[in-house]
Amino acid sequence: MKNILLLVGLSLLLILPLQGCFGGVVDVDITASGGASAAQDLSAETIADLIYSNIPFDDMMTKVPPASIKNSYGLPSCYKSGCAIYVSTGATPEELAVFEIDDVCTEDAIIEAANNRIEKQVKSYSSYAPKEVPKLESAVIYSGSGFVVVCVSADNSLAKDFIKDYILA
Amino acid sequence: MNNIHFKDIFFSVFFVAVSVLSVGLVLPAVNYEYISLAAPKEQTSELFVSEPEIIYDDNKYSPDDSLGDTSRLNNSAFIGNSHAEALNLYGLIPGADYYTKVGLSVLNVLKPGEKGDILINNLYNKKYDMVFLIFGENELGWPYPKNFIKEFEKIIAETRRILPDADIYIESIFPVSLEVSEKDINGINNSNIVKYNKLLEELADPEKNIFFINPAEAVADKNGNLPSDASTDGMHFNYGYCKVWVNYLIDNVVDRNRFAGNSNEGALEETEASEQETNVGADVSGFGQEVFAPTEIF
């Protein structure tokens, strides 16, 4: 009996370390980007890339030239300040935009444009693809550390937590 | 340890094997991978496109081609549905203006919208050289295609009235994927699309600078379907296939230099200003999305 227990214990020692390989745990190197000081080293493009890498999207997303941002948000001067945008095919309203705040591209102007953009998208998709509307209704508009992030993704709750806790903390 | 029997060893190994297999069964429940911030997913500036199932042996255009010189499409206006809106968002033609909207149909172009603006009146903004009209996907389910054609004719007529000297392009309706076509929802199938395109082609009148242009042939595979790698939903193009579309337009629009030396009359002037459909509205409606300032969090 003692030997059986010993063998069982050895078996468990073999199995338990394997749990770390199978997900369910977010392995995050906070020092890579956490904290206000790290955000100062980031650009709008870097932030957008980080979010895109870690947040799920149902649609095919493409990073487009910053100047294109005026086509969706207006804000013709903001692309000069620093911004990055990922757009979808149009099959869904998914989108990811990051704006750098400065005297020309102010936080209020960006947030207003973002709200208007979301509202317009809700009206369009309400009749075109109603099942996509919840993504818009839970869209993330987050401001912090000198940036505004607008994110419409397949998991906005995760996106909000990720942006808040790890990107623009 | 000297008292360990073969049976004990066998059951221990069996227990380990069962445990490992059990953990393996949990893996499919993980919907997406968690990635360390220290090693982000590799990024490219263009959309990742999987290998096409059908090789375009005899097709001139590929989604992997570079974007051509879009200056030929400068000073143009696009009026249309979600396909055209994608062109707008991808920013593939910087010199064009877009009066586009997801879900737009021929019924919405000449009538006042929610804010009282009439979309076609945006053509008063500039003396455009070219106007591209992109409609049809949202009208495939109409019981009488002739009604679609009738409304389309009205749009052409009004475009001509506003811009007497512009080239007007009637764009073909794009094919959908085989899967979408077989589902045949709301008349969306490639056989129906071909019929509608024939009707659209009949609207052309080259002598009056009204042309039918067929980018559908550039994106379709050998069987007339949209390739599986072109979109997520079998309808809306990714970046690569929008490039195909634009490259086709570049190669097939009529040379505007044919007007060199002719005096062009100015466009009709509008008496009322109209709001551009794609521009963000001025109203701050306070949609209600939460904005998290750092002080609220920490």
Q: A90 near B87, Cβ under 8 Å?
A: no
Judging contacts by C-beta atoms under 8 Å, the chain B residues touching residue A30 are: 37
Of the CA atoms within 13 Å of residue A13, those in its CB half-sphere come to: 6
Res A14 pLDDT > 80: no
Amino acid at B18: V
- B95-145 pLDDT, tens per residue? 999 999 999 999 999 999 888 889 999 999 999 999 999 999 999 999 999
- Of B4, B33, B280, nearest to A117 by CB-CB distance is B280
Number of structural domains (chain A) is 1
ipTM: 0.73
Tokens of A41: 């080293």
Domains and CATH numbers, chain B: 70-253 (3.40.50.1110)
What pLDDT was estimated at residue A9? Answer: 60
The answer on pLDDT for B4 being more than 80 is no
Indicate the DSSP class of residue B187: G
Alpha-carbon span B283 to B290, nearest angstrom: 18
Query: What's the rounded Cα separation, in Å, for the pair B95 and B116?
Result: 27
Q: Is residue A88 part of a domain?
A: yes
The CA distance from B209 to B131, in Å, is: 11
Indicate whether A158 belongs to any domain: yes
Q: Which residue of B has its CA nearest to A14?
A: B16
From the list B83, B78, B6, the residue with the least C-alpha distance to B241 is B83
Residues of A in contact with B114 (CB under 8 A): 123
Which positions in chain A touch B96 (Cβ < 8 Å)? none
Task: Answer yes or no: is A4 within a domain.
Answer: no
What pLDDT, on the 0 to 100 scale, is given for residue A7? 66
More confident position, B14 or B24: B14
Q: Given an 8 Å threshold on Cβ–Cβ distance, is B12 in contact with A4?
A: yes
Q: Which of B23, B90, B286 sits opposite A68 (nearest CB)?
A: B90
Evaluate whether residue A151 is within a structural domain.
yes
Q: Three-state secondary structure along B62-111? A: CCCCCCCCHHHHCCEEEEECHHHHHHHHHCCCCCEEEEECCCCCCCCCCC
Burial B42-67 (b: 16+ CB within 10 A, else e): eeeeebebeebeeebeebebbbeeee
The token pair at B37 is 């911030």
Hey, which of A30-44, A132-146, B40-54, B259-273 has the most confident mean pLDDT? A132-146
Q: What are the Cα distances from residue B184, in Å, to B10, B145, B190, B236?
A: 58, 16, 9, 16
> Do A116 and B284 make contact, defined as CB atoms within 8 angstroms?
yes
Question: Is residue A128 included in any domain, yes or no?
Answer: yes
pTM reported for the whole predicted model: 0.72
Task: Kindly give, in sequence order, each residue whose CB lies less than 8 Å from that of residue B199, ignoring residues fewer than 6 positions away.
Answer: B145, B146, B148, B149
Higher pLDDT, B50 or B164: B164
User: Could you list the residue range(s) of the whole structural domain that residue A149 is in?
Assistant: 45-167
Across A51-55, A163-167, B23-27, B276-280, least confident range:
B276-280
Specify if A23 maps to a domain: no
Closest partner residue to A62 (CB to CB) among B34, B85, B90 is: B90
Q: What is the pLDDT of residues B35-92, one digit of tens each?
A: 333 333 444 344 334 433 333 345 689 999 999 999 999 999 999 999 999 999 999 9
Show the tokens assigned to B185: 């929802």
A127 in any annotated domain: yes
In a domain, A36, yes or no: no
Q: Which of B4, B115, B287 to mutate to test the interface with A (most CBs of A within 10 A)?
A: B287
